Structure 1
Amino acid sequence: MIVAHWPPISATLCPKFSGHVNKPLKGLRSFTFNSSFSFKASFRCYCIKNENPNKISSEEGFSVLGSDIPWDSGSIWSTMAFYFFSLHIPFSFGGLSVVAQILHQPVIDPQTEALSILTLQTLELIGALLLLNYTAKPGYRFSVFRDVIINLGMSKRPQDRHAVGWSSPTAVNNPILKEILLSSNVSEIACILVYCIVTPLLEETVYRGFLLTSLASTMKWQQAVIITSAIFSAAHFSGENSLQLFIIGCVLGCSYCWTGSLSSSIVIHSLYNALTLTITLLS
């Protein structure tokens, strides 16, 4: 049996703690234990300044978006204008009017309306994919189309009910949306598909996958997020929800810049729309 005595514990403190202390700590007494060796214990405290000259600033390192993009930077706004006036407005704001004229009905019943919106949004999604693939650089065309499908990065939020009073899905407690949801199981499933799958895919592909990616290659990512979010909000033509849509756009844009993948922004977008549907249904 070996009798071991703990030596005084010395602690070299940081300069701001008045220098050096070398005193035994009270309360430590001799004790015995079964062992074949003895050891010393000492504790030292060091103030180490971690300097890394190669460290990237948080501002520069937040966004992982690069400058090499599949589209020509000179055609960004012409592509957006073509999408806006040839796909977005005709399908989102005029599509239901066309359906009403084809069916010879001044007002479409809720189930037909829900199925029509699903069809129109799907067509807009396909059109947006074809447009982005066609306007891509020759070496990127088929890869852009493939990557968008793999990332599930395209969708548009239906918000217009031009012929029958369709309003933005961002409006909670929307009586028209609630009427459609409660009309039948088919209508409810169609709304879920539109809001939680098709719309997030379309909008994230156009506004984050294309517009934000393109703008971030020519300016700071913060500026690109703000501009993209403002356009995203304005595209919904909803004055009362414009600020809300702008904030949501900033959140989605920052998520995309941070991860470099549309998956994160699509999931956030889908969850937000699902929450809106749930609140509307339960209100």
Structure 2
Amino acid sequence: MTIKRLILGLLTILAIVQVALSLQGSWSQPQIQSRLELYQTNLLLHATEWQPENSGGSNLTTARNAILGDEPLKAAQKQYQDALSEDKNTLQKLQGQLKKLQVEADTAPNKLDQQQLLLSIDKLKKVIDELYLRVGILQVPGETDAAIATWKETSERSRSQTANVLIGLWSNPSRLLPNAQEQIEQHLDGWFRYRALSKLYELQDRTEALSALKVQEQEIAEQAVFKLAMVATVPLLGVIVGIGLLIFLLVGRLIKGKESLLAHNGDVKWTTPWNGETIWQVFVVGFFFIGQFLLPIFFSLLPLNRASFDSRTQALFVLATYLFLAIPCLLVLYFSIKPFFPLPEGWFRFDWRGNWILWGLGGYLVALPLVIIVSLINQKLWQGQGGSNPILPIALEGRDGVALTIFFLTAAVAAPLFEEFLFRGFLLPSLTRYLPVWGAIAVSSLLFAVVHLHLSEILPLATLGFVLGIVYTRSRNLLAPMLLHSLWNSATLVSLFILGSGST
């Protein structure tokens, strides 16, 4: 064994351990899907307040009722109670992990893990208290006693002043605390703030303030109906078209066989001048060692306090981190394959004149129903746990246009360029030296999913990666999977922005 292979072997062990620990750590983290459902519920609650100004808006009223469904408040209450139940279960798991660490050896890594768990537990307790406040407000219509009991439990457990304010508002007789409005505005948002302030202004007999609040809520509610229609209708149309396109491609494959569009270039391998050691070197050194080991150490040594970052600084940090991963990895790739220049025909092909737009758009439409179905199964499998890309929650809660633009550049430009160049441009064709094309697509898709380091994302991303691989092997043009990847990430960010705006 050469020194080079020995080093690669050691780095491989380090990479496997690091990836395994990251995947294990993601188990206790919530999925973004659970939060998305609550944000969509927040939009729905705003929409319940919208009333058309004249009877001529009957079509709008019908559309509103179709979007909201039957008994939207009860549906929202169930959604929040389910989220509360999930978070309480997660809290028990985290507390169990903490107890286990506390009885183990007193080492530096152990202490660091305990600190991280304590921070997670403290944050989750605050989230649970917020959920209790919201569940109580949802219980008020018809269940005022239950709502007051919910808030009393919160007050006794966490000494929440906001809970005491809500108890006073809906008690009989009511009791108004001196700092009631301040507590409501600081600790409640969206529809929940509106409901609490409406009750407060009504009890204070502040007619003008109440009228202004209702006018403002009507504007927000009308926008919420439109946003819900966008979030529900556009993806649904995409899914319908995607299913139709998928059926068309599969029927064509059955009828025309190897002459079909889906079979085009399906069995054609690349001429790969390097062996598996070069593939190994690029990923172990360029991607895992630099990205998962050196990069975190480098950023940990910098005098940075990410907790103090505003949204723009956070967005710039995410972009910088991604570039620090991509550039060294691409340099390792370049110097690894440089001895084989000039490369055989078909490698890293960019053809602006080809039909890459149709392949990219068609691939996106086909991926929509496939990934959605897998995601629904996946959510049941992991039961709301398994973690998510850290960019997604930040983008969901973002309100700054500059920060969102930077996130868009990262997710919709930088990520498709780098990841498609590496996984579809290099890895997939390289694997065809040892595997059939479909096998290379499957292996590259699985690795593409695993390196995102979140258990809950493996199945959906592997499905997306498989479609990306099909698009690339058939089109033989990297612009096609790059477009598909960019459309996917862009649509995700737009959906997050629309849903996140429901908390205003």
Q: Which of 433, 441, 460 is matched with 1:217 structurally? A: 433
* Counterpart residue number, 2:497: 281
CA contact (8 A) 1:64 1:260 kept: no
Structure 1 residue 178 and structure 2 residue 380: aligned?
Answer: no
* Counterpart residue number, 1:264: 480
Q: Map of 1:92-111 to 2, 5 A cutoff? A: 94=296, 98=300, 101-104=302-305, 106-111=307-312
Runs (5+) with no aligned partner, structure 1:
1-54, 153-165
RMSD between aligned alpha carbons? 3.2
Cα pair distance change 1:106/1:176, threshold 3 Å: closer
Q: Once the 2 structures are TM-superposed, how far is the Cα of residue 257 of structure 1 from its aligned partner?
A: 0.5
* Counterpart residue number, 1:80: 283
Cα pair distance change 1:108/1:96, threshold 3 Å: farther
Cα pair distance change 1:63/1:169, threshold 3 Å: farther
CA contact (8 A) 2:267 2:437 kept: no
Q: Which of 442, 445, 455 is matched with 1:229 structurally? A: 445
* Counterpart residue number, 1:29: none
CA–CA separation in structure 2 for the residues paired with 1:167 and 1:107: 22
CA–CA separation in structure 2 for the residues paired with 1:97 and 1:122: 13
CA contact (8 A) 2:265 2:473 kept: yes
CA contact (8 A) 1:111 1:187 kept: yes
* Counterpart residue number, 1:120: 321
Structure 1 residue 205 and structure 2 residue 406: aligned?
Answer: no
Q: Which has the higher contact order (CA 8 A, sep 6+)?
A: 2
Q: Secondary structure at the match of 1:135?
A: helix
Structure 1 residue 187 and structure 2 residue 390: aligned?
Answer: no
TM-score scaled to structure 2, two decimals?
Answer: 0.37
Structure (1/2) with the larger helix percentage:
2
* Counterpart residue number, 2:92: none
CA–CA separation in structure 2 for the residues paired with 1:150 and 1:129: 17
Q: Secondary structure at the match of 1:103?
A: coil
CA contact (8 A) 2:267 2:436 kept: no
Q: Once the 2 structures are TM-superposed, how far is the Cα of residue 206 of structure 1 from its aligned partner?
A: 1.3
- Number of corresponding residues: 206
Cα pair distance change 1:167/1:113, threshold 3 Å: farther
Question: Identity of paired residues, percent?
Answer: 27
Structure 1 residue 68 and structure 2 residue 271: aligned?
Answer: yes
* Counterpart residue number, 2:458: 242
TM-score scaled to structure 1, two decimals?
Answer: 0.63
* Counterpart residue number, 1:130: 331
Amino acid corresponding to residue 327 of structure 2 in structure 1: I
CA–CA separation in structure 1 for the residues paired with 2:432 and 2:319: 32
Structure whose CA Rg is larger: 1
Please list the CA deviations of residues 140-185 of structure 1 after superposition, one character each: whole Å capped at 9, or x if unmatched.
27x79xx859679xxxxxxxxxxxxx94169xxx4432223x1x22
Runs (5+) with no aligned partner, structure 2:
1-256, 353-386, 500-504
Q: Once the 2 structures are TM-superposed, how far is the Cα of residue 73 of structure 1 from its aligned partner?
A: 3.5
CA–CA separation in structure 1 for the residues paired with 2:349 and 2:314: 27
CA contact (8 A) 1:256 1:265 kept: yes
